[in-house]
Amino acid sequence: LSCTGLQHELPRQHFISRDLICVGKDSSIKFLTDILEETMELFPSKYINIGGDEAVYSRWEECADCQALMKREGLSKVSELQGWLTDSVARMMARHDRTVIGWEEIITRGDVSTPVVALIWHNVDDSTLVAPGGHKAILTPATHMYLDFPESSTPGEIKAAGWMPPISLERAYSMPVNDYSDSSSVIGVMGCLWSDQFIHGTVLQELPHLNENRSEKYIDYLTFPRLLAVSEVAWGREKDRDYADFVSRVGQHYARINRKGAGYRVPEPVVTSIDTLADGRLAFTLAPSVPGSQIRYTTDGTYPTVHSALYDGKPVIADSRTDFHAITVVNPKQVSLPVYYAPDYSAYEKYGKLTAEWAPLQVQPKQAPWRIDATGKISGNGTYEIAFVPLKGASPLQLGDLRLMKRDEQLDLASGKHTLKAGDAPAVYTVKVDSFEAGTPFTVVVDQYGPSGNDSHGLIFIRRLP
C-alpha cells in the first residue's frame, strides 16, 4: 500500500511519517473503500473522520504510480493528489449518505468538490476557507482549544505540549466564534487533548500536586476546568459570555468534580490587591478561588506547603513580589501551584524568549553535554539565535559546540568556544531549522563546564530572526 512497498514499523511516540498510502495504486483505493464500508456498517454516525493533516509528499513526488495519476488527472502539484483522494473518498461516502470530516488540510490541498467538514486547527479565522467550496467547519484551533498545552507557565506546571504558549482558562473561554445558525458555515467547536504531547517517553512525570502519576489524573488535570470553558463556547452565544461570572460559577463546580471522583487543576488564590506601604514593602490581599478552600502562604521566596502560614483575611506583608507565594489548599492532597510573579527580564527582550536559567547546580566540573528544552521556542522553519547571558558569579562558564535536536535527529551544529564571566557580552549561536514539525520536542545540547568552579548564574534566550 505504500509507494516503496517496504514494511513499516509503527513508532510508539509522536511522529510525522514520510510514508503515505500510495494514491496511485488501485489496491490502495480498494483498501480504503473496504475499510470505510466496514466502518459505516459498524457505526451509524452521519460523519466519518478521515484525518488528512500534516501530510508530507516526498514519496509521492518520487513514485511512478503517483506521477502517472497526476498526469492522467491533469494535476500540476503533488499536493493536489491529496485533494483528488479526499474528493474520491467524499463522493463514495456521500453515496451512503455520510459526510467526511477531516483536518483543514483536506480542503487546502487540491480541489474537493464534494461538501466536507474541515476541522480548523491553525487559527479561528481560517474558517473562511470553507465557504467557497460549500464546506462546513468545526473550530478547534490550537490557540484556544488544545488542552494538551499547560494552563500556565508557572514553575512546577505539569509537563505538557510546549510548541505554543500555554492556554489559560480565560483564553479558552475567550475564543471568538460567530453565533451558530442554519446559514453559518461553522457548525460547532471541539476541544482536543493529545496524550502523545505530554508523555514524550515511557514514564509520566511525578507531580506532588497530583499525588500520583496515573495517566487518568494527568488527563483530568489538563481537562478540568478548561473543558467547562469549551462547553460554554460550544453551547452559548459569544455576546452572552462574561468571564467574571463564568469564574464564579466554575468555583461551584469543583465540588461536583470531586464528587465524580475526577481530578482537576486547582486554581491559584486570587490576589485582589497589592498595595505599596510607606517603607516600600507590599501588602497582598487575597481571596479563595475554590469555595471552602484554605490559602497558605510564605513571604521569604520559598514555596508554601499545606503546613505554611494560614491566610486569615488580613493583608500579608512581603518585601517584594518575588518573595510572596500563596497556594490554594482544597485538602492535603489537592493543592494549587503557587501564586508566582516572574522576575523582570525586560532588559533582555532583544535576545528573544527566555528559555532557561543556569545556576551552580547546572555547571559541570568537566566538559559534558547540557540539554536545554527548546520546545515552543522553536516555532517554525527559519534561522534562530541562541544567546547565553551571564549575570553573576565568581567562576567563568566554558561553552563549546552547540547542537539543535528535533527529538533524536540533529538539525544543525553551531561550532564555537566561549568563556562567559559575569558582566560579559552574551555568547550567541546561530542555527537553522528547515524541517519543523508541530508537536515535536526540540532540544539544545551544548558542551559546558566550569574550569575553576561552578559559581555562575545566567539566562538563555532564543530568538527567531526576521
Q: What is the pLDDT of residue 181?
A: 76
Q: What is the DSSP letter of 336?
A: P
H or E, element range at 412: strand 409-414
Region 217-232: what's the mean pLDDT? 93
Residue 214 has pLDDT above 70, yes or no: no
What pLDDT is stored for residue 199 in this prediction? 56
Cβ(448)–Cβ(399) below 8 Å: yes
Instruction: Quote the pLDDT of residue 443.
Output: 93
Residue written as grid cell 453515496: 95
pLDDT beyond 80 at 286: yes
**Does residue 36 come out as left (phi exceeding 0), alpha (psi in the -120 to 50 range) or beta?**
alpha
Q: Are 46 and 35 in contact (CB under 8 A)?
A: no
Q: Which pLDDT score is estimated for 202? A: 53
**Mean pLDDT throughout 301-329?**
95
Structure confidence at residue 208 as a pLDDT band (50, 70, 90): low
Backbone angles phi, psi at 326, to 5 degrees: -150, 145
Instruction: Please report where in the chains the cell 500555554 appears, as a residue.
Output: 166
Residue type, 421: K
- Between 50 and 197, whose confidence is greater? 50
Whole-number pLDDT of residue 3: 95
Dihedral sign of CA atoms 356, 362, 363, 365 in order:
negative
Q: For 2-69, give the DSSP string.
A: BSS-------SS----S--B-TT-HHHHHHHHHHHHHHHHH---SEEE----S---HHHHH-HHHHHH
436: number of CA atoms within 13 Å, CB side? Answer: 16
The DSSP annotation for 85-145 comes to HHHHHHHHHHTTT-EEEEEGGGGTSS---S--EEEE-S-GGGGGGSGGGT-EEEE--TTTS
pLDDT per position as a tens digit, 39-93: 999 999 999 999 999 899 999 999 999 999 999 999 999 999 999 999 999 999 9
Interval 290-295 mean pLDDT: 94
State the pLDDT at residue 182: 77
Q: Is the distance from CB of 441 to CB of 200 less than 8 angstroms?
A: yes
- Mapped onto helix, strand or coil, the DSSP state of residue 382 is strand
Contact 146, 194 (CB under 8 A): yes
Q: Are 387 and 414 spatial neighbours (Cβ–Cβ below 8 Å)?
A: no
Residue 162, pLDDT score: 78
DSSP reduced 3-state for 235: helix
Q: Contact at 8 Å (CB) between 165 and 158?
A: no
End-to-end CA distance of the chain: 42
To the nearest 10 degrees (0 to 180), the angle between helices 215-223 and 226-235 is 50
Among the residue ranges 124-133, 219-228, 363-372, 377-386, the one predicted with the least confidence is 124-133
Which tops the pLDDT comparison, 15 or 81? 81
Query: Which pLDDT belongs to residue 408?
Result: 83
pLDDT at 196 over 80: no
Nearest CA to 257 out of 218, 205, 221 is that of 221
pLDDT at 207: 61
**Alpha carbons 368 and 450: distance in angstroms, whole number:** 10
* Bridge partner residues of 189 (DSSP): 139
Instruction: Express the helix, strand and coil content of the chain in percent, nearest 5 each.
Output: 25, 25, 50
pLDDT value of position 206: 60
User: What is the arithmetic mean of pLDDT over 159-176?
Assistant: 90
Q: Over the stretch 93-136, which tens digit does the pLDDT of each residue have?
A: 999 999 999 999 999 999 999 999 999 999 888 888 898 889 99
C-alpha cell at 401: 559546540
**Phi first, then psi: what are they for 305, rounded to 5°?**
-125, 180
Three cell numbers at 191? 476541544
Amino acid at 92: M
Window from 155-159, 266-270, 276-280, 452-456 with minimum mean pLDDT:
155-159
What is the sign of the dihedral through the CA atoms of 12, 15, 19 and 23?
Answer: positive
Query: Percentage of the chain with pLDDT > 90?
Result: 72
Q: How many C-beta atoms lie closer than 10 Å to residue 249's C-beta?
A: 12
* Mean pLDDT to the nearest integer, 9-21: 80
Cβ-in-10-Å burial (0-12, 13-18, 19+) of 159 comes to middle
Band the pLDDT of 309: cuts 50, 70, 90.
very high
Contacts of 32 (CB under 8 A, 6+ apart): 21, 89
- Using DSSP's 3-state secondary structure scheme, residue 372 falls into strand
Q: What's the CA gap between 298 and 311, in Å, rounded? A: 10
pLDDT band at 203 (very low <50, low <70, confident <90, very high): low
Q: Distance between CA atoms of 337 and 303, rounded to whole angstroms?
A: 9
pLDDT band, very low/low/confident/very high, at 462 (cuts 50, 70, 90): very high
* Of 203 and 66, more confident: 66
Neighbour count for residue 408 (Cβ, 10 Å):
8
Contact by Cβ (8 Å): 149, 165: yes
